[in-house]
Amino acid sequence: MDIHAEKILILDFGSQTTQLIARRVREAQVYCEIHPFNIGMAKIRKFGAKGIILSGGPACVLDKGAPVCDLEVLHLGVPVLGICYGMQLMTHLLGGEVERAAKREYGKAQLLIDSSEDLFHGLDGASGGQGEQVWMSHGDKIKIPPPGFTAIAHSGNSPVAAMRHTATELYGVQFHPEVVHTPNGAKMLQNFLSRSCGCKPVWTMKSFVASTVEGLRQTIGSKKVVCALSGGVDSSVVAVLLHEAVGHQSTCIFVNNGLLRQGEAEEVQRIFRDSFEINLDYIDATDSFLSRLEGVADPEQKRKIIGNRFIEIFEAEANKIPGAEFLAQGTLYPDVIESVSFKGPSATIKTHHNVGGLPEVMNLELIEPLRELFKDEVRKVGGELGLPHRLINRHPFPGPGLAIRILGEVTPERLEILRQADTIVMEAMERSGLHDQVWQAFAVLLPVRTVGVMGDERTYDQVIAIRVVESVDAMTADWAKVPYEVLGQMSNRIINEVKGVNRVVYDISSKPPSTIEWE
């Protein structure tokens, strides 16, 4: 079965929520890709979509230089759904009238459905009831729909909150069906996919595994492949996919840089070598990393030292594997989307040295089996492959590890303190059931000492900061409102059990302007 046979093209006009549209489409088990609005007709035709979605965007179609796709997109005979700016553009291109609104409409609105035949099929609000809650975020609105279009829903503020062409499959919605504040938005998108585009739900992670394993077998043939295993979910999934595909023709290289969390190196070996019987090359390079980090306090310098050393070690190990021709890497879809809105400035504020520099220095062909997947899809693939829940749901962990959570110099003593505190934080997150609800939780060791009392003694010890954040993509993040009892347990245990710490603080900053990590 070709899992890409039925696909949707999303043209991006710069909305913050374009990725969410793609995720909702994937959740409806239909493959889709995001491309910039101006990729050109030749590429659009070649893509062969069964339906096209025009995303929202910050511009106003009435402005000079506003992003515009080819009019032909609307005449391909393929169903098109315009969302917010996409709807306004459709209106503008097809001869309707867009009105510059005096005031921006932002927030929840009630959508009153006038026709429940297609997009709104099966929705409660369709029977003249209370209407559907939807999320609006727009300045302009439709004054007169283009010829041949009728309104299929309205709201207090928008007489044409949704429209369709009476004879062809062209739709527009003023609100955002892709966000959670439109509770039935996923159903609306699903109606578009199944009823208008006729897409069958063939994009499942089970079928992804089958087709990827087959694809890897074809690509690798009888050659050898190496994979940099970090113990994070992405590289773990790659490791198991490779093993399923070519067994011991694949070798995973796991470098212990001495900056891992407690028990991590042992756990990785247990899971991959012992349970999955994967060819695992474990290198304990703790001393070589720590000696290079001696006396270094600058965050960017730490990252560079760790990144470069990793590449040197990995390269030397990979060279010991005769006949290795491929390097497998866990690149995900959000890293490769070539788009208007995703490469915000925050992407480059910190140099992210992971295995990032590897492909450039190594003479190996790159294989990226997860290139098409969002993180939630990778986790599902991990589940299909039988990886443990704990590993699949691990929080992101930076390549430079605990080094960027120890502010100032990294020493074995300070690593030990942070490891113990970090373990306590993670245990409390898991026990309280909060672990899987947040993006990341961790401890940070600060470079200051504060005064305390213990018994009759004055202490002058170190400070641990606890950081827990909620986020969907790490580009922005909010500090998590962790219950006081849970914070209290963390604090008590850290101060009582971790020698050298006499104070714990909770980080209540959001990103931006702060970042998630402290360095």
Residues annotated as catalytic (active site), given as ranges: 84, 176, 178
Binding to ligand XMP (CB under 6 A) within 438-467 occurs at: 440
Q: How far is the CB of 230 from ligand XMP (least distance, A)?
A: 9
Residue type, 284: D
Residue 272 vs 518, nearer CB to ligand XMP: 518
Nearest-angstrom CA–CA distance, 259 and 399: 9
For residue 159, the 8-state DSSP code is T
The 367-396 site mask, x for binding ligand XMP (CB under 6 A), equals -----------------------------x
Residue 151 pairs in a beta bridge with 163
Residues 6+ apart with CB under 8 A from 238: 227, 328, 329, 330, 369, 370
- Residue the block writes with tokens 């069906």: 177
- The H helix count followed by the E strand count for the chain is 15, 20
Asked if 169 interacts with ligand XMP (CB under 6 A), we say no
Q: Can residue 516 be called a binding residue for ligand XMP (CB under 6 A)? A: yes
Does residue 121 bind ligand XMP (CB under 6 A)?
A: no
Q: How is the chain split among helix, strand and coil, in percent rounded to 5?
A: 35, 25, 40
Q: How far apart are the C-alpha atoms of 50 and 58, rounded to whole Å?
A: 27
400 counts as binding ligand XMP under rule CB under 6 A: yes
Rounded Cα distance between 16 and 348, Å, is 18
Nearer to ligand XMP by Cβ, of 67 and 232: the residue is: 232
Half-sphere exposure of 472 (CA within 13 A, CB side): 11
Which of 181, 273, 292, 511 binds ligand XMP (CB under 6 A)? It is 511
List 225's β-bridge partners, or say none.
250, 326
Instruction: Output 86 or 400, the one with its CB closest to ligand XMP.
Output: 400
Closest approach of Cβ 469 to ligand XMP, in Å? 8
Neighbouring-strand partners of residue 445: 406, 464
Count of residues interacting with ligand XMP (CB under 6 A):
15
Q: Does 343 participate in binding ligand XMP (rule CB under 6 A)? A: no
Per rule CB under 6 A, is residue 261 in the interface with ligand XMP? Answer: no
- Record the tokens describing residue 28, joined without a space: 């409806």
Which residue in 394, 397, 443, 411 sits closest to 302, CA to CA? 411
To ligand XMP, the closest distance from the beta carbon of 154 in angstroms equals 41
Structure tokens at 509: 């900053």
Q: To 5 degrees, how large is the angle CA 413–CA 417–CA 420?
A: 135
Residues belonging to the chain: 519
134 vs 426 by CB, closer to ligand XMP? 426
Q: Closest separation between CB of residue 264 and ligand XMP, Å? A: 15
Nearer to ligand XMP, 92 or 419 (CB): 419
Q: Are 101 and 62 in contact (CB under 8 A)?
A: no
- Per CB under 6 A, contacts with ligand XMP among 283-322 are 303
Write down the least CB distance from residue 499 to ligand XMP, Å: 27
Q: Does 353 bind ligand XMP (CB under 6 A)?
A: yes
N-term to C-term CA, the chain: 47
Residue 56's SS3 state is coil
**Site stretch for ligand XMP (CB under 6 A), options 157-165, 197-205, 481-489, 511-519:** 511-519
Give 105 or 519: the residue with its C-beta nearer to ligand XMP: 519
Contact status: 399 vs ligand XMP (CB under 6 A): yes
Which range in 213-221, 326-334, 350-358, 416-424 contacts ligand XMP by CB under 6 A? 350-358
Instruction: Name which of 100 and 343 has its Cβ closer to ligand XMP.
Output: 343
Binding site for ligand XMP (CB under 6 A): 303, 350, 352-354, 396, 398-400, 440, 474, 511, 515-517
